[in-house]
Structure 1
Amino acid sequence: MRTNRSLVISVVIVLIGLVLVGKLFLIQVTDDSYLRKAERNAIQRIVDHPYRGLIYDRNNELMVYNNPVFDLMVIPKEFSIKDTARFCDLFRIKEETLIENLNLAKKYSWVKPSPLIKQISNEEFARVQDFLIDYPGLFVMTRSVRSYPQPVAASALGYIGEISRSQLGNDSTSYYRQGDYVGLSGLEAYYEPELRGRKGAKYKLVNVRGIEKGSFKNGDLDTLSIAGRNLQSTIDLDLQVYGERLMEGKRGSIVALEPKTGEVLAMISAPSYDPNQLTGSLFGSNYLQLNQDMNKPLFNRPIMAMYPPGSIFKIVQSLVGLQEGILTPNTTFSCNRSLVNCHNHPSPTNLFGAIRNSCNPYYHQAFRMIINQGISSNTFTDTQIGLDNWRESVMKFGLGSQLGIDMHGEKRGSIPSSELYDRVYGKGRWRYSTIYSLSIGQGEMLVTPLQMANLASIFANKGYYYPPHLIKSIDGDPSRIPEKFQTKMDTGIDPHHFDLIQDAMAEALYGTASRAIIKDITIAGKTGTAQNPSGEDHSVFIAFAPKEDPKIAIAVYVENSGWGGRAAASTASLLIEKYLRGHITRPALEDYVLEGNFIY
C-alpha cells in the first residue's frame, strides 16, 4: 500500500514538473508576448518631433519658421522637491499648477516621462538649465513653435495649437497623441498633412526605477524624424504688409487676386492681430483675450463676413440680361425715381450709361424683364420660374456657394430661391414687387469679400475664373497643389459681352470714384454701398487693372464708411499702384486713407 502511494506521488510530481517545463518552453521559446511585456516595461520610447514645413510668400520671402522651445519632462518615481516655493519661483510656475501637472504625470505612469512644464522659451531655458541637476527625474525634450518675421497675414496663415480630444478621436491615421500640436486654422490647418512631417523615435533601456541604462538594441530600432514639406504661398508679402497698414484702425477686409490664375495676392481681415501672440506658452491666455475682444480679430472677414453686394451686382445683372438676349447695349430706360431712389445723372440711359452712372431704376426695370418673361400664363408662377432660372445663371459666377479656397470655414453667401420666398410668404403669395430689391444687390442677397474679388477676376478674364487659392507650390513643385485650383470655371457668358462691361467700368471711375484714378494705369472698377441697418453703410469697391492686360483684381470692404467711392475705392487704388509700380506716387491719398475720416 505504502509503495503504491509513493508511486502515485512520484507520478504526480513528474506530471507537474512536465507541465511546468512545457509552460516555460511556451513562455520562453514559443510565445513572445511575455518578452514584449517585459520589454515594454524596460524600454522608454522618446518621440522625436519633426520640424513643421516653412511657409514662404510668392517671392520666396520667409513668412513662417520654427522656433525651438523646451518641454520639461518628469519621471515621478525619481522626482522630489525639498523647497517647493524655490522651485516654483525658479521655473515661474504656480504651486497649484505644479501639483496638478505632477498628479497627472503620476496618474499616467510613475516610471515613464510626462510633461511638467510645457513650451519653455530659449531665454527661459538658458536661465534655468544649470539648475536642472538639482532635481533628479527631470529632463528636457525639444519641441518647436511657429514664429513670424512680419506680424501680418494672421487670418490667412492660421495658427497651431495642442490637439483637442475631439480631434484626437477623429484621427483615422493614428498619427497624433495627446499633447501633439496641430494646425487649427488657415493654411496651417488645410495643409496639416504636408506641413506636419513624420515623427521619429528613440528607444532607451531603463531599470525598474526608470533610470536610463543605454540604447535598446544599440539603436537599431531608432528612427529619425522627417521635417514637413515647405509651402510657397501665393501672397505678396509687401502688398500684404501695405494693405494691413492701410486698414489699421478700421474694420473690413481686402482680397486681391491674380485674375489669370486665381492666386491670392493679399488677404486682409481688419482688425487683425500679431500671429506671434498665438505661439508658445502664452497661447491660451492670448487666445482667450483675442476671442473676447469686441472687435473680433479672430473672425476671418474675407471668407466669413457676408454683406449685400450693392451696386456692384448690377454688372452681373447686365451680363445675365445680355446673355439671355433680354438686354442689348441699346436697351434704354428712364431714371424713374418713383420705382426706386437714384442720384442725379442723364436720363433716359442705355446699358453703358446705367453701369457708368449706377442707375437704380434702370436695373429695377431690367430685372423685371429678366424675371417675368411670360413663360406661363400665371404671374406668380412666371415670377417663380424666372427667379430660379436667374438664380442658376447667377450662381455660375461663384455666388451662393463656396468657391473652395484652401481654408476651412468659408461661407457660401446667399442667392435667394423661390423656395425661400415660399417659406417666408407662402407659395403663390409673392411676386416681383416682393423681390425687386435683388435688382440692385440688396434684399436677401449676401456675398463674401472673397466672392466679390472673384467677380472682379471674372470681369477681367471675360467670363471665367480659377478657384481662389493661397498655395503656389509644395516643396518647390507646383504640380503638387490640388487639381481643383488648376481647373478653369466658366460662367456661361459669351466673352464679347464683356467688352461693353469693361469699357463702362473704366468710365465709371470718372463718375463715382475719381479718387481711384491713377495716371497711366487704366482701372476698371465699380463702387458699391452695402446697406447696414445698425449704423453707417459699408463702403465697397471692386476693380481690376490694367484694363488692357489685367494683373490684379481686388475687392475692398470698409465697414461703416459710407459711400464706396471714398474709403474702399481709395484703398483699392493705392494697393493696385503698390502692386503694379512697387511704390506710391500719391502721398496725399495715402494720408487720407490712413487718417480714416471717410464720413465727413
Structure 2
Amino acid sequence: MNEQRPVIILIFISLVSVVLLVRLFMIQVVDDSFTQRAERNAIQRIVDHPYRGLIYDRKGQLLVYNNPIFDLMVVPKELKIQDTTRFCELFRIPKEQLVETLTAARKYSSVKPSPLIKQISNKEFARIQDFLIDYPGLFIMTRAVRSYPKSTAAHALGYIGEISGPQLERDTTKYYSQGDYVGLSGLERYYENELRGKKGVKYKMVNVRGVDKGPFKDGEYDTASVAGKNITSTIDMDLQLYGEMLMAGKKGSVVAIEPKTGEILAMISAPFYDPNELTGAEFSKNYTLLNKDIQKPLFNRPIMATYPPGSIFKIVQSLIGLQEGILTPNTTFACNKSLVACHNHPSPVNLFGAIRNSCNPYFHQAYRMIINQEVSTNTFKDTEIGLNAWRERVLKFGLGGPLGVDMTNEKGGSIPSSKLYDRVYGEGHWKYSTIYSLSIGQGEMLVTPLQMANLAAIFANKGYYYIPHLIKEVDGDPTLIPGKYQIKREVGIDPIHFDLIQDAMAEAIYGTAARAVLKDITIAGKTGTAQNPHGEDHSVFIAFAPKEDPKIAIAVYVENAGWGGRAAASTASLMIEKYLRGEITRPALEEYVIAGNFIY
C-alpha cells in the first residue's frame, strides 16, 4: 500500500495539471473575455469632439467661429497626489472643489475619464502642460467654444452651453453625453443637427503609470470626427451693426426683411448684449447676471414681445374693406372726433386721405361697415358673425399665430374672436361699441415686431409673403434650407388693391413722418403710436423701399418714445438708407436718433 502512494500522488498531480491546462487553454484561446478586460484596463477611450459649423452673414463675412479650449480629464484609479496643497496651487483649483470633483469622478467610474477642470484657456493650458507628466491619470481633451469677431446679432445667432439632465433624457438618438455642448437658443439651437457635426473616437494604450503608449492596435478602431456644416445666414452684418448702434441705450426692436424672399436682413432686440459673454468658463456667471438684469437683455423682443400694432393696422383694415367691396377709393367719412380722438387734418377724407392722415374716426366707421353687415336681425349676433369673418381674413396676413421663423419660442400674438368676448362679457352681451378699438389696432389685438415687418413685406409684394427666416444656405447649397421657407403664401387680397395703398403710404411719409423722407428714394410707410398705460406711448413705424421695386421692408418699435413719426420713423429711414446706399447722407438725423431725446 505504501508502495502505491507515490503513484496515486503522481496521478492526482497529473490530473490537476491537465485540468489547469485545459482551463488555461479555454481562457487564453477559446474565451477572450479576460483578455478584453485586461485590455480595457490599459485602454483609454477618448471622444474626438467635432468642430461646430461656422456661421457667415449673407455677404460671406464671418459671424461665428470656433475657439479651442481644453478640459483637464482625470482617471481616478491612476491619479496619485502626494501633496494636495501643491497640486491645488499648480492647477489653481480650490481644495474643496478638487475633493468634490474627484469624489464625483470616482462615483461615476474609477477607470473611465471624467472632467477635473473645464474650459481651460490657451494661456492657462500653456502654463500647466509641463506639470501633467508628474501626475499619471491626468490628460487634456481639446474642445471648442464659440467666438464672435464683431460681437453682434446675439439674439439671432443664439448661444451654446453644456447639455442639461432633462435634455439628455429627451435625446432619443443617444448622441449626447454629460458635458457635451449643445445649441440653446437662436440659430445655434434651431440648426443644432446641421452645426454639431459627428463625434469620433480614439483608443490609446497606457501603462500602469498612465503613460501614453500609443494608439490601440495601430488605430484600427479609431474613427475620425466630422466637422459640422457651415451655415450662411440671411443677416447683413453691416446693417445689423448699424441698427444696433442706433438702438443702443433704448428698448425695442428692429426687423428688416427682403420682401421678395422673406430673408431677414437685420434682427435687433434692444437692449442687447455681447455674445462673447456667453462663452467659455464665464458662461454661468455671465448668464446669471444677464438673466437678473431688470432691462431683460436676454429677452428676444422681435419674436417674443407682443404689442398692439396701432395705426399700422389701418392698412390691413383698408385692404379687407376693398377686397370685400365694402370700401372703395371714394368711400368718404368725416373726421368725427366724438367717435374717437384724432389729430387735426382736413375733413372729410376718402380712403387715400384716411391713410395719409391716419384718421382714427374714418377707420372707426369703416370697421363698423366691415363688421356689421346686417346678415342677422340680431345686433349682437350680427357683430359676432362679422367679427369672426373679419378674423379669418386677418389670419391670412400671418397674424394671430407664430409665423414659423427658424428660432424657438416665437410668440404668435393675438387676434381676438367672438369666444374671447363671450368669455369676458357673456354670450350675446357685447356688440360693435365693445370692440371698436380694434379698428385702429388697439384693444385686445397683439402682434410681434416680426409680424409687423412681415406686414410691410406683404404691402411691398402686393399680397404675398415668404415666411421670414435667417437661413440662406447650408454648406453653400441654398436647396438644403427647410422647404417651408420657399413657399409663396398669398393673403387673399387682389394685387390691384395695393396700388392705392402703396401710393397712400408713400404720401403719408410727408404727413406723419416727414423726418423719414429720403431724397431720390421713395419710401412707403405708416406710423403708429401704440398706447401704453404704464408710461409714454410706444413709437411704431413700418415701411418698404424703393416703392417702385422694394428691396427692404422694415418694422421699428421703440418703447416709451412717443409719436411714431419721431423715433421709429427716423430709425427706419436711416436703416433703409444704409442698406440701399451703403452710407448715410443725413448726419443730423443720425445724431438725433443716437441721442434718443424723442419725447421733447
Which TM bucket (shorter chain)? Answer: over 0.9
Q: Which residue in 2 is equivalent to 1:43?
A: 43
Please tell me whether the aligned partners of residues 77 and 209 of structure 1 are also in contact (alpha carbons under 8 angstroms): no
Deviations 1:105-133 (A, max 9, x none): 11122222211000011122122222333
Please tell me whether the aligned partners of residues 58 and 235 of structure 2 are also in contact (alpha carbons under 8 angstroms): yes
Q: Which residue in 2 is equivalent to 1:150?
A: 150
Structure 2 CA distance for aligned equivalents of residues 488 and 565 of structure 1: 32
Change (3 A) 1:353 1:21: farther
Q: How far 1:85 moved relative to its partner?
A: 3.6
Residue 214 of structure 1: SS of its match in structure 2? Answer: strand
Residue 436 of structure 1: SS of its match in structure 2? Answer: helix
Q: How far 1:514 moved relative to its partner?
A: 0.2
Structure 2 CA distance for aligned equivalents of residues 13 and 438 of structure 1: 103
Structure 1 CA distance for aligned equivalents of residues 157 and 401 of structure 2: 23
Alignment of 1:207-222 (within 5 A): 212-222=212-222
Structure 1 CA distance for aligned equivalents of residues 53 and 82 of structure 2: 43
Q: How far 1:314 moved relative to its partner?
A: 0.3
Alignment of 1:72-91 (within 5 A): 72-91=72-91
Q: 292-301 vs 95-104, which deviates more?
A: 95-104
Please tell me whether the aligned partners of residues 136 and 209 of structure 2 are also in contact (alpha carbons under 8 angstroms): no
Please tell me whether the aligned partners of residues 111 and 209 of structure 1 are also in contact (alpha carbons under 8 angstroms): no
Q: Which residue in 1 is equivalent to 2:583?
A: 583
Please tell me whether the aligned partners of residues 310 and 530 of structure 1 are also in contact (alpha carbons under 8 angstroms): yes
The amino acid that maps onto 2:148 is Y
Q: 71-80 vs 223-232, which deviates more?
A: 71-80
Residue 222 of structure 1: SS of its match in structure 2? Answer: coil
The amino acid that maps onto 1:577 is E
Q: Which residue in 1 is equivalent to 2:296?
A: 296
Paired positions, count: 592
The amino acid that maps onto 1:121 is S
Does the alignment pair 1:455 with 2:455?
yes
Structure 2 CA distance for aligned equivalents of residues 302 and 94 of structure 1: 43
Does the alignment pair 1:251 with 2:251?
yes
Q: 136-145 vs 508-517, which deviates more?
A: 136-145
| TM-score relative to the length of structure 2 | 0.95
Structure 2 CA distance for aligned equivalents of residues 280 and 300 of structure 1: 22
Deviations 1:391-410 (A, max 9, x none): 00001000011110000010
Structure 1 CA distance for aligned equivalents of residues 263 and 549 of structure 2: 16
Which structure 2 segments of 5+ residues have no match? 1-11
Does the alignment pair 1:225 with 2:225?
yes
Q: How far 1:15 moved relative to its partner?
A: 12
Structure 2 CA distance for aligned equivalents of residues 288 and 593 of structure 1: 31
Q: How far 1:35 moved relative to its partner?
A: 5.6
Q: Which residue in 1 is equivalent to 2:113?
A: 113
Structure 1 CA distance for aligned equivalents of residues 288 and 407 of structure 2: 22
The amino acid that maps onto 2:429 is R
Q: How far 1:282 moved relative to its partner?
A: 0.4
The amino acid that maps onto 1:267 is M
Which structure 1 segments of 5+ residues have no match? 1-11
Residue 526 of structure 2: SS of its match in structure 1? Answer: strand
Does the alignment pair 1:308 with 2:301?
no
Q: How far 1:162 moved relative to its partner?
A: 0.3
Q: How far 1:424 moved relative to its partner?
A: 1.1
Change (3 A) 1:222 1:337: same
Change (3 A) 1:326 1:38: farther
Alignment of 1:269-280 (within 5 A): 269-280=269-280
Structure 2 CA distance for aligned equivalents of residues 134 and 14 of structure 1: 50
Deviations 1:123-153 (A, max 9, x none): 2212222233333322111100000000110
Change (3 A) 1:30 1:572: same
Q: How far 1:80 moved relative to its partner?
A: 3.2
The amino acid that maps onto 2:374 is G
Q: How far 1:39 moved relative to its partner?
A: 4.4
| TM-score relative to the length of structure 1 | 0.95
Structure 2 CA distance for aligned equivalents of residues 88 and 503 of structure 1: 73
Please tell me whether the aligned partners of residues 71 and 120 of structure 1 are also in contact (alpha carbons under 8 angstroms): yes
Structure 1 CA distance for aligned equivalents of residues 14 and 319 of structure 2: 99
Residue 555 of structure 1: SS of its match in structure 2? Answer: strand
Deviations 1:360-398 (A, max 9, x none): 011111111111111122111111111111000001000
Residue 78 of structure 2: SS of its match in structure 1? Answer: coil
Change (3 A) 1:32 1:322: farther
Residue 244 of structure 2: SS of its match in structure 1? Answer: helix
Alignment of 1:421-570 (within 5 A): 421-570=421-570
Structure 2 CA distance for aligned equivalents of residues 460 and 22 of structure 1: 87
Structure 2 CA distance for aligned equivalents of residues 96 and 544 of structure 1: 60
Report sequence identity in percent. 77
Q: How far 1:14 moved relative to its partner?
A: 12
The amino acid that maps onto 2:96 is E
Structure 2 CA distance for aligned equivalents of residues 525 and 23 of structure 1: 90
Structure 2 CA distance for aligned equivalents of residues 381 and 296 of structure 1: 44
Q: Which residue in 1 is equivalent to 2:4?
A: none
Alignment of 1:318-329 (within 5 A): 318-329=318-329
Structure 1 CA distance for aligned equivalents of residues 539 and 526 of structure 2: 11
Alignment of 1:345-424 (within 5 A): 345-424=345-424
Structure 2 CA distance for aligned equivalents of residues 333 and 13 of structure 1: 119
Please tell me whether the aligned partners of residues 137 and 209 of structure 2 are also in contact (alpha carbons under 8 angstroms): no
Q: Which residue in 1 is equivalent to 2:338?
A: 338
Structure 2 CA distance for aligned equivalents of residues 581 and 522 of structure 1: 13
Please tell me whether the aligned partners of residues 56 and 62 of structure 1 are also in contact (alpha carbons under 8 angstroms): yes
Q: How far 1:78 moved relative to its partner?
A: 2.6
